[in-house]
Structure 1
Amino acid sequence: MSKAKVLLIGSNATRIELQGGRTAATGQYLNETVVPAIAIIEAGYGIVLATPDGTKPHIDEISDTPDHFGGDRTAYDRAKTFYAQDPAMKHVRTLRSVIEEGLDQYAGVFVPGGHAPVVDLMQDPDLGEILRHFHERAKPTALLCHGPMAVAAAMPHAREFRAALIAGAPAKAAEWARGWQYAGYKMTVLSNTEEKIVEDHILHAKLYFNVVDALQTAGGDVITTKTDFEAHVVEDRELITGQNPRSDRPLAEKFVAALDRSLVSA
């Protein structure tokens, strides 16, 4: 019997828009999904994986390497096996179905990164409903790397906000962001200098907007490290955010600690 259940929100996006009308393959990062998931389970919690359409998230091929596990082949193999075979990763629900069955049964929510959440999750109305539920009850809400961009879904006009960012209209985006529940929260997300490395060496093109700028436009107090790809986690009230792939373990530790505190105070 687990202590409680945690909702793991996955993306179904497989392509992301690039400037010039192109797109690039995308998905979730393997380590960002699996490392926290295993830590949550090992801490005694159960996991329910849910996505917008109820199908399993696609793992970004760029992340499918031992390099994202500190070069540890054993850890990488364990992660691959876990994602492929663990029941928690095989039985995927829709976001709508978990809402209809009741969100009160979940102690916390976690959103991993990869660019995918910037495509679908940040403008998904069901995720918006989920985030507002956890925010209103001050339940632990953790997001990693590009995952923190998903908190935009809680806005009253998340789709319009994203469309304004793509159109290069930050002032209009700020208007659409009015009433955002996380305005004024301290948070982190993949930094602009880290994103430039991704654009230059992986995407070979520019994205329509940087996630740091987007969250700042919405009213977030975004804090990033001066050193690229240095582990960094920010915790403010119920919100726990990690900056980059190397923040997977530190974020998991803070999230589990927050879940434990939440259970004690319940």
Structure 2
Amino acid sequence: MSKGKVLVIGSNATRIEIEGGGWAPTGQYLNETVVPAMAVIAAGYEVVFATPDGTQPTIDPASDSAEHFGDDVAAYERAKAFFATDPAMTNVRALKDVIADGLEPYAGVFVPGGQAPGVDLMQDAEVGVILRHFHARSKPTALLCHGPIAVTAAMPHAREFRAALIAGDTAKAREWAKGWQYEGYAMTVFSNSEEKVVEDYVLHAKLYFSVVDALETAGGKVVTTPVNFEPNVVEDRELITGQNPRSDHPIAERFVAALDRVLVAA
């Protein structure tokens, strides 16, 4: 018997704006998606995968490698097969349909990273509805790597907030962020120095804003490690955030523990 349902929110973005005009390819990270999802299932929960348009996310090619699985080729192949064939990953629902059916049955919500959430999820109205629901009920809300930027969707003016960041108008972004549910929360996210590695060696371009700066502008208390790609998880009340791809297993453990605590308390 399932312990309950867990909502996993994926991104449909396949490109991200870069300075000077134009776009760079992006997507969702494979390990950041499947490692926590598989852990949640192994712990006895049912995963419901949903995206803004109800189609499966595009996996960022930069993540499609055994390197993100500790060079364990067998683990990498299992992950690829899970994402490609397991009903938990292939039976994707649209966020609006999940909301219409009711959010009360869900024990928690998880958002994986890759830079894609910084394009669509951080300003998606339906993501905002979902996050406000889980926040109001103090249900476990976990986000990994770039995924934590999605919490800005809970703002009353998330689209305007992002537009101000793109325009480089920090003062205006702060104005649009007023009333944010997660103001004052401790959190982590992909660090500025880690982002520079991606900009220099993967994108070969500079992004309009960093996720660290965005969350700090909104009022988050962001904590990142001084060493790039060191695993790091920060937990504050119902919010559980992981810094980078190597935080996949640690955040999965913390998220499952939080789900189990809520189950026991109930």
TM-score when scaled to structure 1? Answer: 1.00
Please give the per-residue CA displacement for 1:196-247, whole angstroms capped at 9, x wherever unaligned: 0100000111000000000000000000000000000000000000000000
Partner of 2:90: 90
Letter in 2 for 1:43: A
Structure 1 distance, partners of 2:180, 2:126, is 16
The aligned length equals: 266
Corresponding residue SS for 1:235: strand
Equivalence for 2:107: 107
Match of 2:172 in 1: 172
Distance 2:244 2:136 in 1: 27
Structure 2 Cα separation of the partners of residues 264 and 228 of structure 1: 36
Shift of 1:265: 1.0
- Is 2:234 the partner of 1:244? no
Give the SS at the match of 2:104: helix
Aligned-residue sequence identity (percent) comes to 73
CA distance in 1, matches of 2:186, 2:231: 16
Alignment correspondent of 1:154: 154
Aligned to 2:65: 65
Post-superposition Cα deviations, 1:235-262, rounded to whole Å, max 9, x if no partner, equal 0000000000000000000000000001
1:214 aligns with 2:214: yes
Measured in 2, the distance between the counterparts of 1:106 and 1:57 equals 21
Unaligned regions of 5+ residues in structure 2, if any?
A: none
Gaps of 5+ in 1: none
Following TM superposition, by how much is the alpha carbon of 1:11 offset from its aligned partner in structure 2, in angstroms?
0.3
Written as runs of structure 1 = structure 2, the 5 A alignment for 1:6-17 is: 6-17=6-17
Q: Which residue matches 1:141? A: 141
Partner of 2:5: 5
| Runs of 4+ displaced beyond 4 Å | none
- For 2:223, the equivalent position in structure 1 comes to 223
1:131, distance to aligned residue in structure 2 (A): 0.1
Give me the whole-angstrom Cα distance separating, in 2, the residues matched to 1:251 and 1:112: 10
Q: Which residue pairs with 1:235 in the alignment?
A: 235
Shift of 1:22: 1.7
Partners of 2:2 and 2:56 lie apart in 1 by 23
Partner-residue secondary structure (3-state), 1:213? helix
What secondary structure, in the 3-state scheme, does the structure 2 residue paired with 1:103 have? coil
Task: Calculate the aligned-residue CA RMSD, in Å.
Answer: 0.4
Matches of 2:202 and 2:127 in 1, distance apart? 28
